[in-house]
Amino acid sequence: MANLAIIPARGGSKRIPRKNIKDFLGKPIIAYPIEAALNSGLFDEVMVSTDDEEIAKIAKLYGAKAPFFRSTHNANDYATVSDVLIEVVSQYIKADRTFENICCFLPTAALTTPSKIIEAFHVLTKQKFKTVVPVVRFAYPIQRAFKDVDGLLKMREVEYINTRSQDLEPCFHDSGQFYWLNTEAFLLEKKVFTSNTGYIELKEHEAQDVDTLDDWDLLELKYKLKNNYGYRSKIL
């Protein structure tokens, strides 16, 4: 069963310049998902899709491959993850290489661990899903969310105003780490969240999506608490 790891990492990050290779506790942040993928032992190849020579060089330094550069069309602000994955898979098919499954890793997923990659892969293959995504449970019930209505604070779903929290359906959000995909199903539907998507659940301290500098600071804090920095917080 051939598996391909794909890490999309363009050079033109706007909110955090050069985010995908920014130093994170001593290494370029992209090194962390590369190493996690390699250490999982599941992949025939770990590659980085980029339009940037420096990112490609760093990716190779940490054990990934960058066999071709991303097209200009898929390196702009409007290209989706699906667009990039389709391009990568198509390039490999042209080179007469096919993979039964692909796993897309976000380049800032420093909290990704080999054990979670393996766990999600087992869910994908043993439970016959077409996609498996690690998710995090919302800490507060989203059914109790507020919204702004002409400057006034209103409940978004007023029917739940008196419902006990423990009686509300749990909801989840994307962890911002990786997506396991059956390649055939993905190419058919052309979207990461296919019609047959399963999940594994991560704890809140096990994941942190990174869009802002505040997110970056939280990621550093979580990483230090989880790893070998001389202490382990009781809150974990």
Question: What CATH number has the domain bearing residue 76?
Answer: 3.90.550.10
Asked, for residue 82, whether it belongs to a domain, the answer is yes
Asked, for residue 121, whether it belongs to a domain, the answer is yes
The b/e string for 31-52 (b: 16+ C-beta within 10 A; e otherwise) is bbbbbbbbebebbebbbbbbbb
CA nearest to 31, candidates 209, 142, 39: 39
What is the average per-residue pLDDT within 213-225?
95
Helix (H, G, I), strand (E, B) or coil at 221: helix
Asked, for residue 214, whether it belongs to a domain, the answer is no
229: pLDDT confidence band, cut at 50, 70 and 90? low
161-199: pLDDT as tens digits = 888 888 899 999 999 999 999 999 999 999 999 999 999
Q: Which tokens is 62 given?
A: 């940490």
Asked, for residue 23, whether it belongs to a domain, the answer is yes
The count of structural domains within the chain is: 1
Percentage of residues of the chain with pLDDT beyond 90: 83
pTM: 0.91
Asked, for residue 132, whether it belongs to a domain, the answer is yes
Contacts of 177 (CB under 8 A, 6+ apart): 33, 105, 106, 109, 111, 112, 116, 134, 202, 207
Asked, for residue 80, whether it belongs to a domain, the answer is yes
98-154: pLDDT as tens digits = 999 999 999 999 999 999 999 999 999 999 999 999 999 999 999 999 999 999 999
Asked, for residue 227, whether it belongs to a domain, the answer is no
Asked, for residue 68, whether it belongs to a domain, the answer is yes
The domain of 184 spans 3-201
